[in-house]
Amino acid sequence: MEIDSTFREELEQRSVAAGFCAVGIAPAQVEDAHRLRLAQWLSADMHGEMGYMARPNIDRSNAETVLPGAKSVIVFAASYAPPGPPPRPEIATGFVRIARYALGKDYHEVFRERLAQVETWLRETIPGHEWRIITDSAPLLERSFAEAAGLGFIGRNTMLITPTVGSFVLLAEIVTTAELPRDRPRPGTCGTCTRCITACPTQAITAGGVVDARLCISYTTIERRSPPSPAEQAAAAPWAFGCDICQDVCPYNNHPKYEPMEELPEGLMLNAVEPASTFLEPTSNSQFERRFAGNPVLRPGRTRVQRNVKWAARLEKNGNPEPDLD
């Protein structure tokens, strides 16, 4: 097959058949502004303990970093959006909140399997090239490539916001040495809205639209290894795993036009609000691994998740005042 409009149409069809809500093609190098923003973020130490983000001599704005000779990056987005405006169910002592992306199966594993079908077709259609599937698994600025591929724009909360679903989408890529027809970036803007900045309970989002990970509840509950101070724990409660506040308040998330990918909807493995006992019952690592097999909470592991749950459910008092939650 020639790489023409037929190719683009078939790519779109195969992407939808594989469960994705959007696909686009970016060049192997995104504009320098992205690399510079990342460099500023790192030099301000905003990555905290995520040492992998600061590995020297790794250019995350260039796909050659992950595949020598790369010429194009095909970017895919999958919805995990709730059906309408994101609900914020009431929460009582003894319950915790879980980020929506973690309510079904781990997207890393799901996307890899689903994209394998698309990759096989690409290999057969355009022989003689290298192809590499990436799902948050390699040093690439995924949102920058998604923007360059025309999937949406980057909002003040730093999320990639798509026109059809909003920001409750997860990203994956197929990087290739093949020169493919590119999509154009899609215009979009937050306008005068600053809801996410005001709503963030830890002031992690600056007026310029930069997230200081050290202040972000998602980082505190998932990535951070050192024990947070009692004040940091109180600020994170009632979130036990991740945080969705800056997306819940975003007006772009009120009318998603695509249902979640089959493996990702709320209720498949967890609900957005869970009793603490869901996570505290497993008393050994093997019990925990059996109970949450295939779910993202396995990544930080039992000790860290149970640590989060205890403070998030306010089961440990620490002598702190209760945080103002809403």
Among 118, 169, 250, 269, binds ligand B12 (CB under 6 A): 169
Residues 29-68 close enough to bind ligand B12 by CB under 6 A: 33-34, 37-38, 41, 50, 53
Express the helix, strand and coil content of the chain in percent, nearest 5 each.
Answer: 35, 15, 50
Q: Nearest distance from residue 1's CB to ligand B12, in Å?
A: 29
- The C-alpha atoms of residue 247 and residue 81 are separated, in whole angstroms, by 10
Residue 212 among the catalytic residues: no
Greatest CA separation for the chain: 68
Chosen from ligand B12, ligand SF4, none, partner binding at 143 (C-beta under 5 to 8 Å by type):
ligand B12
**Which of residues 99 and 148 has its CB atom nearest to ligand SF4 in the complex?**
99
Annotated active-site residue in 4, 32, 59, 136: 136
Candidates 85-93, 156-164, 229-237, 286-294 — which segment interacts with ligand B12 by CB under 6 A? 156-164
137 contacts: CB under 8 Å, gap ≥ 6: 108
Which spans of this chain sit near ligand SF4 (rule: CB under 6 A)?
155-157, 190, 193-196, 200, 202, 204-205, 211, 216-218, 243, 245-246, 249-252
- 137 is written with which tokens? 């698994």
Candidates 68-76, 185-193, 218-226, 271-279 — which segment interacts with ligand B12 by CB under 6 A? 218-226
158: contact with ligand B12 by CB under 6 A = yes
Chosen from ligand B12, ligand SF4, none, partner binding at 155 (C-beta under 5 to 8 Å by type):
ligand SF4
CB 258 within 8 A of CB 79: yes
- The C-alpha atoms of residue 302 and residue 295 are separated, in whole angstroms, by 12
Candidates 116-124, 182-190, 207-215, 249-257 — which segment interacts with ligand B12 by CB under 6 A? 207-215
131: contact with ligand B12 by CB under 6 A = no
User: Residue 274's CB: how many other CB atoms inside 10 A?
Assistant: 19
The H or E element that residue 110 is part of is helix 107-125
- 259 is written with which tokens? 């249902």
140: contact with ligand B12 by CB under 6 A = yes
- The C-alpha atoms of residue 240 and residue 245 are separated, in whole angstroms, by 13
In our burial notation (b when 16+ CB lie closer than 10 A, e otherwise), range 18-57 reads bbbbbbbbbbbbbeeebbebbeebeeeebbbeeeebeeee
- The C-alpha atoms of residue 35 and residue 41 are separated, in whole angstroms, by 10
**Which of residues 101 and 288 has its CB atom nearest to ligand B12 in the complex?**
101
- The C-alpha atoms of residue 199 and residue 247 are separated, in whole angstroms, by 10
Looking at the annotation, which residues are catalytic?
136
Residues that bind ligand B12 in the complex, under the rule CB under 6 A? 33-34, 37-38, 41, 50, 53, 99, 101, 136, 140-144, 154, 157-160, 167, 169-171, 209, 211, 213, 216, 218-219, 222-223, 242-244, 246
